[in-house]
Amino acid sequence: MVEKIRLDGVTYAYGKTPVLQELSLGLQPSKFYGVVGPNGAGKSTLLKLMDGYLDPQQGVITLNDRPLQSYSLRELAQEVALIPQHSHYFPFTVEEMVLLGRTPFYTRLGQPSAKDVQLAQEAMQVTEVAHLAGRLVSDLSGGERQRVTLARAFAQHTKVLLLDEPTTHLDLEHQINTCQLLQKRAQEGVTCLAVLHDLNLVANFCDYVFVLGRGSLVKEGPPTDVFTPELIQKVFHVSVPSLLHPVTGRPVIVP
Amino acid sequence: MRPMKGSIALVSLITIAAIVVATALGSVPIPLGHVLGMLASRIPGIRDFVQGDWSVAREVIVLQVRLPRVLLALVVGGGLSVAGVLFQGSLRNPLADPYIIGVSSGASLGATLGLLFFIPQGLAGFGSLPLFAFAGAMLATWIVSRLGQSRGRLDPTSLILAGVAVGAALTAVVSLLMVLKIQNLTDVYLWLMGSLSGRGWKHLAVATPYVFAGVVLALWQAKDLNVYLLGEEAAHSLGIDVQNLQRWVLVLGSLMAAACVSVSGVIGFVGLMVPHALRLIFGAEHRRLILHSLWVGALFLLVADTLARTVLSPTELPVGIITAFVGGPFFIYLMKRGSGYHG
């Protein structure tokens, strides 16, 4: 099957501290990928590399079989959307903020087109922030802000969605909603990749998991194959029993 | 677009009215009709219809003393405010002002050196003073922007810290010079407090091109600045060249601030307060923020300067005292009004 994004022997270091070492992996369209691993494993760095924010010191990253560096920033923004781990919230209205997701599609002095506005509206509806449209983002709760950020990335309407801990501030209902939305996007052909700390969300919703430990890939595969008690012990130093969900048959990770 | 045109017409009208009223006010009050007549007498096509029954002395007061000063207040107020928008935006810090990366301390040192060693005493020498101040401001900005980089990238936090450190060092040199050369102290002191007193058409000609070009280029960057507020990674993922934007906007803001400071001295508070207050009221969208800051900043400084030269007339107050005195409480009111702002 065609690969949307491919990393080959990618190495990245901040100064002299290596973060990722000779990492190789491929992402296909129409799949929801989870990235898990302990703190400092290089998960966020992996996302920044895939979005071209950081350039690898060694190795090659390709998007649609074309080196990532050969894309202009604007071309790249039309292909890949990233939700970083930390966002800043200035007094934009929710609608203004979501419309910023359409920036790569209109010119410097231009205005968003009717299509841009419509895509922003749809994104606000599916993420359940449409009723907040006129409110200031800076006045919202942490969870609401996070959904606005998700709406912004959805409005960008790219073939690749990279999300760094998109569920951190969300209540249980919205954690599940977010994962279902990403699942749905994947079914529509988008390559979704999310860094998640909740292994049960990954086990439940992701099609495929990458487990990172200290800058290299420890294991990859469907959650059922990957989340074994041995692996959890090895990577997270927590011993868990081998449990499967009685209804879905997917692994359940509890100490 | 209609409401936009309407508000531009309204703003122009208010500004013209403010110019006429401010020009009429002063230690020698001049009737509004005379001011209008004198202004009209300079406009080709209209001048033939104006019958002047005022004295030459009054015409000199209006056209050579007050009018350039009034216009300069508008240019400096607008310029400092838009520069404030640029620094607050590019450093993503709502407490940044146009002087945060060393423009004011650099300009102060340049001006002090000029006043103490190169320029003859008294108002006659004020002509070359802007050059000294401008050179000092640019030098300080250059040093700070070199120091404010880490791993080849401009870093807002390093930049602010470098600005504070360089500012402190340069201010110390200014103080040292003042202690060593006491005889010219009044000139230096008045300049440091910021004032539009005694400024004429020449000063207006120095500052206006920078402010005008600065505002146009700031509007050109407005869309990118909006996206940049989301954070560097998010801006990158939306197609913005973050490094390039930061450099551009800092250069632009520094040039505007330096041009203003070089003709007016260090007028505080306008460039911090006006953009911040307008962001609290109208939100962070930059095109709106730049345009609102331009005219609110301009009118604010005009009102402050008019008060500065009329409140204790014939004694003049440094305008910086008025901006802080009026601006401080208003700012507190806005903060307490509780429009949400969590940086």
Q: Which of chain B's residues have a Cβ under 8 Å away from the Cβ of A103?
A: 223, 226-227, 238-240
- The pLDDT, as a whole number, for residue A228 is 93
Q: How confident is the model at residue B56 (pLDDT cuts 50, 70, 90)?
A: confident
B107 assigned to some structural domain? yes
Q: Is A91's CB within 8 Å of B284's CB? A: yes
Q: Which long-range contacts (CB under 8 A, 24 or more apart) does B1-4 make?
A: none
Average pLDDT over residues B42-46: 79
Residues in B whose CB is inside 8 Å of some CB of A read: 92, 151, 220, 223-224, 226-227, 229-234, 236-241, 279-280, 283-285, 339-343
- The pLDDT, as a whole number, for residue B4 is 67
How far is A221 from A233, CA to CA, in rounded Å?
17
Task: Judge whether residue B122 has pLDDT over 60.
Answer: no
A214 assigned to some structural domain? yes
Q: Which of chain B's residues have a Cβ under 8 Å away from the Cβ of A88?
A: 92, 229-231, 343
Q: How confident is the model at residue A116 (pLDDT cuts 50, 70, 90)?
A: very high
* Between B219 and B321, the higher pLDDT residue: B219
* Between B40 and A47, the higher pLDDT residue: A47
Contact B19, B77 (CB under 8 A): no
Task: Judge whether residue B158 has pLDDT over 50.
Answer: yes
Tens of pLDDT along B176-206? 988 887 777 777 887 888 888 888 898 899 8
Instruction: Write the burial class of residue B59 (CB in 10 Å: 0-12 exposed, 13-18 middle, 19+ buried).
Output: middle
CA terminus-to-terminus distance, chain B: 31
Counting the structural domains of chain A, the total is: 1
Q: Which of chain B's residues have a Cβ under 8 Å away from the Cβ of A48?
A: 233
CATH at residue A68: 3.40.50.300
Q: Is A15's CB within 8 Å of B151's CB? A: yes
Residues in A whose CB is inside 8 Å of some CB of B read: 15, 48, 51-53, 73-74, 76-78, 80-84, 86-93, 96-97, 100-101, 103-104, 108-109, 136, 138-139, 152, 156, 162
Task: Judge whether residue B340 has pLDDT over 50.
Answer: no
Peptide linkage before B314 cis (omega within 30 of 0): yes
Q: How confident is the model at residue B343 (pLDDT cuts 50, 70, 90)?
A: very low
Task: Look over chain B and give the mean of its residue pLDDT values, rounded to a whole number.
Answer: 86
Please report, for residues B135, B194, B206, the alpha-carbon distance to residue B107 in angstroms, rounded to integers and kept in the order given.
Answer: 7, 12, 15
- The pLDDT, as a whole number, for residue B341 is 44
Task: Look over chain A and give the mean of its residue pLDDT values, rounded to a whole number.
Answer: 93
CATH at residue B76: 1.10.3470.10
Average pLDDT over residues B109-133: 75
B247 assigned to some structural domain? yes
Percent of chain A with pLDDT over 90: 82
Average pLDDT over residues A185-214: 95
Q: Is A51's CB within 8 Å of B223's CB? A: no
Task: Judge whether residue A217 has pLDDT over 60.
Answer: yes
Q: Is A84's CB within 8 Å of B233's CB? A: yes
Among the partner-chain residues B92, B231, B284, the one whose CB lies closest to the CB of A84 is B231
- The pLDDT, as a whole number, for residue B19 is 94
Average pLDDT over residues A178-198: 95
Q: How confident is the model at residue B8 (pLDDT cuts 50, 70, 90)?
A: confident
> Would strands A160-164 and A66-67 be described as parallel, antiparallel, or unpaired?
unpaired
- The pLDDT, as a whole number, for residue B241 is 93
- The pLDDT, as a whole number, for residue B342 is 40
A16 assigned to some structural domain? yes
Q: Provide the greatest CA pair distance for chain A.
A: 59
Q: How far, rounded to the nearest angstrom, does the alpha carbon of residue B190 sit from its chain's CA centroid?
A: 17
- The pLDDT, as a whole number, for residue B3 is 58
In one-letter notation, the amino acid at residue A29 is P
A107 assigned to some structural domain? no
B164 assigned to some structural domain? yes
Please report, for residues A249, A252, A253, the alpha-carbon distance to residue A246 in angstroms, rounded to integers and kept in the order given.
Answer: 6, 10, 13
Distance between A63 CA and the closest CA of chain B, angstroms: 14
* Between A184 and B326, the higher pLDDT residue: A184
B126 assigned to some structural domain? yes
- The pLDDT, as a whole number, for residue B198 is 84
Among the partner-chain residues A74, A87, A138, the one whose CB lies closest to the CB of B231 is A87
A125 assigned to some structural domain? no
Q: Which of chain A's residues have a Cβ under 8 Å away from the Cβ of B224?
A: 108
Q: Which of chain B's residues have a Cβ under 8 Å away from the Cβ of A55?
A: none
Average pLDDT over residues A31-50: 94
Q: Which of chain A's residues have a Cβ under 8 Å away from the Cβ of B284?
A: 90-92
Q: b vs e for B304-322, b when ≥16 Cβ sit within 10 Å of the residue's Cβ?
A: bbbbbbbeeeeebbbbbbb
Count Cβ–Cβ pairs < 8 Å, chain A vs chain B: 90
B214 assigned to some structural domain? yes
Instruction: Write the burial class of residue A74 (CB in 10 Å: 0-12 exposed, 13-18 middle, 19+ buried).
Output: middle
B221 assigned to some structural domain? yes
Q: Which of chain B's residues have a Cβ under 8 Å away from the Cβ of A136?
A: 283, 339-340
- The pLDDT, as a whole number, for residue B116 is 82
Tens of pLDDT along B219-266? 999 999 999 999 999 999 999 999 999 989 988 999 999 999 888 988
Tens of pLDDT along A54-103? 999 999 999 999 999 999 999 999 999 999 998 888 889 999 999 999 99
Distance between A253 CA and the closest CA of chain B, angstroms: 32
Task: Judge whether residue A242 has pLDDT over 70.
Answer: yes
A244 assigned to some structural domain? no
List all residues 6 or more positions away from B8 whose beta carbon is below 8 Å from its beta carbon: none
Distance between A22 CA and the closest CA of chain B, angstroms: 23
Distance between B55 CA and the closest CA of chain A, angstroms: 50
- From the CA atom positions of chain A, what is the Rg in Å? 18
A118 assigned to some structural domain? no
Three-state DSSP state, A5: strand
Tens of pLDDT along A119-163? 999 999 999 999 999 999 988 998 999 999 999 999 999 999 999
Q: Is A92's CB within 8 Å of B226's CB? A: yes
Q: Is B233's CB within 8 Å of A48's CB? A: yes
Q: How confident is the model at residue B298 (pLDDT cuts 50, 70, 90)?
A: very high
Instruction: Write the burial class of residue B212 (CB in 10 Å: 0-12 exposed, 13-18 middle, 19+ buried).
Output: middle
- The pLDDT, as a whole number, for residue B209 is 93
- The pLDDT, as a whole number, for residue B306 is 94
- Residue B313: which domain range? 16-337
B29 assigned to some structural domain? yes
- The pLDDT, as a whole number, for residue B218 is 96
> Would strands A5-14 and A58-63 be described as parallel, antiparallel, or unpaired?
antiparallel
Q: How confident is the model at residue A223 (pLDDT cuts 50, 70, 90)?
A: very high
Contact A129, A137 (CB under 8 A): no
CA dihedral for A227, A229, A231, A235, sign (positive or negative): positive
Structure tokens, A221: 């595969």
B83 assigned to some structural domain? yes
Counting the structural domains of chain B, the total is: 1
